[in-house]
Amino acid sequence: MDRISVVMPAYNASATIEASMRSALGQTHPDVELLVIDDRSTDDSWDLVQAIAATDPRVVPIRQPRNAGVAAARNAGIEAATGRYIAFLDSDDRWYPDKLEVQLAAMQAAGARVGYTAYERVDEAGRRLSVVRPPARVRHADMLLGNSIGNLTGMYERSLGEMRFGAWGHEDYVFWLQLVRIAGEAVCAQPGRVLASYLVRSGSLSSNKLRAMRWQWRIYRESERLGMLRSGWCFAHYALRAVGKRV
């Protein structure tokens, strides 16, 4: 059975981290490894992680030597992972119980090495705000027009190489752009079926639209090295898609 390593960065997440961890540990896929990387929390997140790890050997608790941000925490998890596949779940998001099983089956049936799913966006009271339904398949050219892979839904096979998150705004978008370029395409598990739940916090980085737009432009020009005309064309599509995803 193929092991799936789940990478979960955490920082001051004591209010949500146990539920997020339980959603990963409660997966129907039988071989799951959960790496929780604490980024030097100042609340009791680390104590909670250690307490759960003491009762479940599938949990690998890792504490960063210093607070270094989410990209560094994810990279530490990737480096410690032992699975054939890697998936990501933040410490305030959740998965439906059969997310990994359904996703892995879809990837293997399609011969794909990158996969993703539809997901719901919920507020802090648990109310559904919207559902993000990505296309059935995407290639690199499609991804340039907007990120179809919600990081909490993405999974990839490590045969693609030892990928790392870089120091970008939208670092998850750059990460999946690179993986899809290498893999050739990515596939959605049972398109339209919601398999994950993303928490939208008021005042979060992802809710700052102007900042996100600046990040996106920088990715086109500096990471992807696109010319001005193609950057503008891609950015226009990105903006239209972003409006469609927001409430």
Do 39 and 142 belong together in one domain? no
Walk along the chain (247 residues) and give the pLDDT tens digit of each residue.
Answer: 899 999 999 999 999 999 999 999 999 999 999 999 999 999 999 999 999 999 999 999 999 999 999 999 999 999 999 999 999 999 999 999 999 999 999 999 999 999 999 999 999 888 999 999 999 999 999 998 888 999 999 999 999 999 999 876 678 999 999 999 999 999 999 998 999 999 998 755 445 677 677 767 667 777 777 788 777 766 777 777 666 554 3
Do 75 and 121 belong together in one domain? no
In a domain, 169, yes or no: yes
Do 124 and 241 belong together in one domain? yes
Please tell me the total count of domains within the chain: 2
Do 118 and 85 belong together in one domain? no
Token representation of residue 105: 């089956």
Do 81 and 187 belong together in one domain? no
CB neighbours (10 Å) of residue 222?
Answer: 11
Quick one: DSSP state of residue 57? T
Give the span between the Cα atoms of 147 and 170, in whole angstroms: 10
Give the span between the Cα atoms of 230 and 24, in whole angstroms: 39
